[in-house]
Amino acid sequence: MTKIPVDVGMIYEGERIRKNAMHVEFGGPKSFGAELFRVAGNDAVEDGKVTVVGPDISEMAEGSRVPLGMLIRASGDKLEEDLEGVFERRMHYYFNYIQGFMHLNSRDTIWCRLSKEAVKAGLKFEHVGAAIIDLFKKEYDVIEKMDITFYTDDKAVNEFIEQARAVYEKRDARLRGMKDEDVDVFYGCVLCQSFAPEHMCTISPERISSCGSISWFDGRAAVKVDPKGDLIEIKKGEIIDPVKGEYTGVNEMTEKKSGGAVDRIFLHSIFEYPHTSCGCFEAIAFYIPEVDGLGVVHRTFKGTTPFGIPFSTMAGQTGGGQQLEGFAGIAIEYIRSPKFFIADGGHERLAWLPKDLVERFYDDIPESVRDKIATEEDATDLDSLKVYLEKVDHPVVSRWKAEETAPAAGAPVAEVSELTMPLSGMPIAAGGGITITFKNAKIYAEKVIIKKK
Ligand code: SF4
């Protein structure tokens, strides 16, 4: 067994490595990287082997930024490809168990740091790899063999990222065409409760997990091999609202797993009871009241949203497991979902999106709106956004017109020269059978309810 020069354990999970304590940074906003977990054949995997393609930690200068690719391959008779996403998400936790190693995000947005202390202690990739293999094998006896490759050479990392993206795409594609209505169970994940104690992701065929790593298929496979683990089966129960995506089973499980803090969840609406947001989300969807539309910003977008704030500031306000009306942490893949905030108008309500996301989801967004969504090139603030949406006649503009024809606050909703109404529901002794007539009346109302007879 390789002797590891730093401690390894759950107590280091919340360790943050600030800039002045950092020796080297991997991936993140100023570099690039990816992680991938693959199930392979027994003959292909060399148990315990750690390979480094490119410079090792000891060759990296203090304060440097280096690209990083991490490939884990595992084999075992009971291992299924469906488990890859779940184990890949586990990498986040296990890397954070290593003293002096900080791991953030997932897939091709990973951002890691190594502390000066850990490097001074002699930590190398062979130790990191050995610790990770040990942690996986101790927790999952379905894993019989495991090896790890670290890529730090620019060219090798770029090639690895392409390979990883093809696998992510294949995994995500499996779900396309499957509907929430096609299944009786969804899956819940509470992995992020270590930092967002009231958060549970509900994963349905049309709503992949907020981190983008765990699909409905991944949830199903995980529950099969580890029924007492962090992934839970949720029986849908009764449908309360098929459009908003509200189910009795999801509400009950959310209430149980959030310790009573959250008892209603709309899977496909950003209003009233939106899904809670942990902090690992790939993107944030947000309501823009000034244009009555929705926007989405993702983790790797370097500019600012029309609110004038970047992703990081919005993430700080949205995360922690909160249920915040008008904001929701989502997976980027959810933009492709036919149920993308369908209760709020779906894609037709999408007013602002970074350009790379418009390009990526161009064919998935309805023709009626895909050329009308503002990007950072069309609008940099709320005023220019409004001007742009009006210029292209975006579908949200018709909502403004509807609002303009609605009465202003304080104005009467109706002016009538004569209105006659029976006093229904009153006992005869108290005036039943009486009719009241208003002449030249102005009616002020907070709400008007019109019922069909
Ligand atoms: S974001 Fe959701 S699915 Fe992903 S690890 Fe956290 S709780 Fe699980």
* Residue-by-residue pLDDT tens, the chain, 453 positions: 689 999 999 999 889 999 999 999 999 989 999 999 999 998 999 999 999 999 999 999 999 999 999 999 999 998 989 889 989 999 999 999 999 999 998 999 999 999 999 999 999 999 999 999 999 999 999 999 999 999 999 999 999 999 999 999 999 888 888 999 999 999 999 989 988 999 999 999 999 999 998 999 999 988 988 888 899 999 999 999 999 999 999 999 999 999 999 999 999 999 999 999 998 899 999 999 999 999 999 998 999 999 999 999 999 989 889 999 999 999 999 999 999 999 999 999 999 999 999 999 999 999 999 999 999 999 999 999 999 999 999 999 999 977 666 555 555 555 555 555 544 444 434 444 455 555 555 555 555 556 554
Any atom of ligand 1 within 6 Å of the Cβ of 215: no
Q: What's the pLDDT at 419?
A: 53
Q: What's the pLDDT at 407?
A: 55
- Kindly report the protein residue whose alpha carbon is nearest to atom 6 of ligand 1: 192
What is the bridge-based pairing of β-strands 327-330 and 246-247? unpaired
Any atom of ligand 1 within 6 Å of the Cβ of 196: no
Any atom of ligand 1 within 6 Å of the Cβ of 214: yes
Q: What's the pLDDT at 428?
A: 38
- Kindly report the protein residue whose alpha carbon is nearest to atom 2 of ligand 1: 201
Atom of ligand 1 nearest to the CA of 193: 7
User: Residue 139 Cα, ligand 1 centroid: separation in angstroms?
Assistant: 18
Give the distance, in angstroms, between the CA of residue 424 and the centroid of all CA atoms in the same chain: 51
Q: What's the pLDDT at 425?
A: 41
- Can you list the domains of the chain with their CATH numbers? 10-173 (3.30.1650.10), 179-281 (3.40.970.20), 282-318+345-406 (3.40.1470.10), 409-453 (no CATH)
Q: What's the pLDDT at 340?
A: 98
Q: What's the pLDDT at 422?
A: 47
- Cβ neighbours of 296 (radius 10 Å): 26
In degrees, rounded to 5, the angle at the alpha carbon of residue 316 between the alpha carbons of residues 312 and 319 is 120
CA distances from 353 to 109, 293, 294, 449 (A): 18, 11, 9, 36
Any atom of ligand 1 within 6 Å of the Cβ of 222: no
User: Does the predicted TM-score (pTM) go above 0.85?
Assistant: no
Maximum C-alpha span of the chain: 95
CA torsion sign, 345 to 319 to 264 to 288?
negative
46: left (phi over 0), alpha (psi -120 to 50) or beta: beta
Residue 136: CB partners within 8 Å, gap ≥ 6?
A: 72, 74, 87, 90, 94, 143, 146
